[in-house]
Amino acid sequence: MTRPLVEVEGLARRFDVSRPWLARLLAREPRRFLHAVAGVDFAIPRGTTMALVGESGCGKSTVARMLVGLLRPSAGRIVFDGTPLDPDAGRKALAPIRRRMQMIFQDPYASLDPRWRVEAIVAEPLDAFGLVRDRAERRERVAELLRAVGLSPADGRKYPHEFSGGQRQRISIARALASRPDFLVCDEPTSALDVSVQAQILNLMKELQEQLGLTYLLISHNLAVVSVMADQVGVMYLGRIVELAPADELFARPRHPYTRLLLDTVPDLEMRRRERAPVAGEVPSPIDPPPGCAFHPRCPFAERRCRAERPALLPAGPARVACHAVEEGRLPA
């Protein structure tokens, strides 16, 4: 079996959210940490899409930012195509790997420098990694990239504000593709877009994946989007993966109570108008997560063990689930 393109082991990140030193001293407070990501493992096979889903504050974006080097992991390691990423290596040493992993961002209005022409934006990675020899080649490559995302080469002369949200997201994708990466981290790529445009972008992402053999990590809060894009899904809650499963399996047979809750909240377009059991509670603060299983205060199946002991991510059929109730087989199927 070939090795996965991306492997993540025990990845963790904590943020120091202590008050300033003097205030802390006066109030006799200890330092406080927010464990945004508290140990996450997964692997993404080449040419497939892995999705991380969860609500705000679950740590999915932090994982994405660590993968592309925007944030330093506090612990754990990232292995890319067999090479472990050393965060202490210099900029130059990391460049060959950086070239191969790029990112698409959420807000198409903030992800393009408003003062740059589109051609300069798309060409930025070409210059950054020294991928073109002269201006002619640069122009040719930019035109090719713009065409690949469904824009015209003439659009390169314009500025970002002349484009709609969907077109801007295309420009953002063209920029991400400029360095011919293998791996794209897509952080909520369509959540700022209207539905009809979202469909265009999702279709484009699929086409590009087929043509270029891209591997995606898709960060999303929208389960329906994940269901049409992902091969593998990790459900995150308060910094941990609570269920990791092949997409078909996850949507057909959700195991973890939180996964079930999330699926239950997806609005029903089939108009069955079911009266749902209202989902109680909200996500607790990640600074002070509940002991044991972090989901237990909202979980209808919680028992004493759930309040005391944190469940490990254990195999359950083709999935892996972190839940005592699933492990003990006391959940209705």
Partner 1 sequence: MALLEVEDLVVEFPTRRGRLVAVDRVSFSIEAGEVLGMVGESGAGKSLTGMAIIGLLEPPGRIAGGAIRFEGRRIDDLPPEAMRRIRGRKIGAIFQDPLTSLNPLYTIGRQLEETIRTHLDLDARAARARAIALLREVGIPAPERRIDAWPHELSGGMRQRVVIALALAAEPALVVADEPTTALDVSIQAQIVQLLKRLCREHGTAVLLVTHDMGVIAETADRVAVMYAGRLVELGPVEAVIRRPRHPYTRGLMGAIPRIGAGKGRLVQIEGAMPRLDAIPPGCAFHPRCPRAVERCRLERPELAPVGPAHAAACWRLEPEPTG
Partner 2 sequence: MTAALRRFFDHDLWWSFTRSPLTVAAALVTLLFLVAALAAPWITPHDPFDPARVDLLDAFTPPVWTERGDPRFLLGTDDQGRDILSTIVWGSRISLLVGFAAVLLSATLGVALGVSAGYVGGVYESVVMRLADVQLTIPGILVALTINGVARTLVPRELQEAAAIWVLVLAIGISDWPKYARLARGTTLVEKNKEYIAAARVMGLHPLRIMVSHLLPNVIGPVLVIGTIGLALAIISEATLSFLGVGVPPTTPSLGTLIRIGNDFLFSGEWWITLFPSLALVLLVLAVNLLGDWLRDAFNPKLR
> Residues interacting with partner 2, by CB under 8 A?
65, 68-70, 91, 94-95, 98, 101-103, 105-107, 110-113, 115, 124-125, 128-129, 172, 175, 179
Binding-site partner at residue 333 among partner 2, partner 1, none, CB < 5 to 8 Å by type? none
Stretch that binds partner 1, among 112-120, 137-145, 153-161, 189-197 (CB under 8 A): 189-197
Binding-site partner at residue 198 among partner 1, partner 2, none, CB < 5 to 8 Å by type? partner 1
C-alpha angle with apex 202: 201 to 203, nearest 5 degrees? Answer: 90
Binding-site partner at residue 203 among partner 1, partner 2, none, CB < 5 to 8 Å by type? partner 1
Of 171 and 208, CB closest to partner 2:
171
Which of 70, 89, 279, 312 is the binder for partner 1 (CB under 8 A)?
279
Of 37 and 250, CB closest to partner 2:
37
Binding-site partner at residue 311 among partner 1, partner 2, none, CB < 5 to 8 Å by type? none
288 binds partner 1 (CB under 8 A): no
Question: Scanning residues 4 to 63, which ones bind partner 1 (CB under 8 A)?
Answer: 55-56
Which of 177, 241, 261, 313 is the binder for partner 1 (CB under 8 A)?
261
Of 44 and 67, CB closest to partner 1:
44
Binding mask 60-99 for partner 1 (x = CB under 8 A): ----------------------------------------
Site residues (vs partner 1, CB under 8 A) = 55-56, 164-167, 194-200, 202-203, 206, 221-225, 227-229, 247, 251, 261-269, 271, 273, 276, 278-279, 282-283
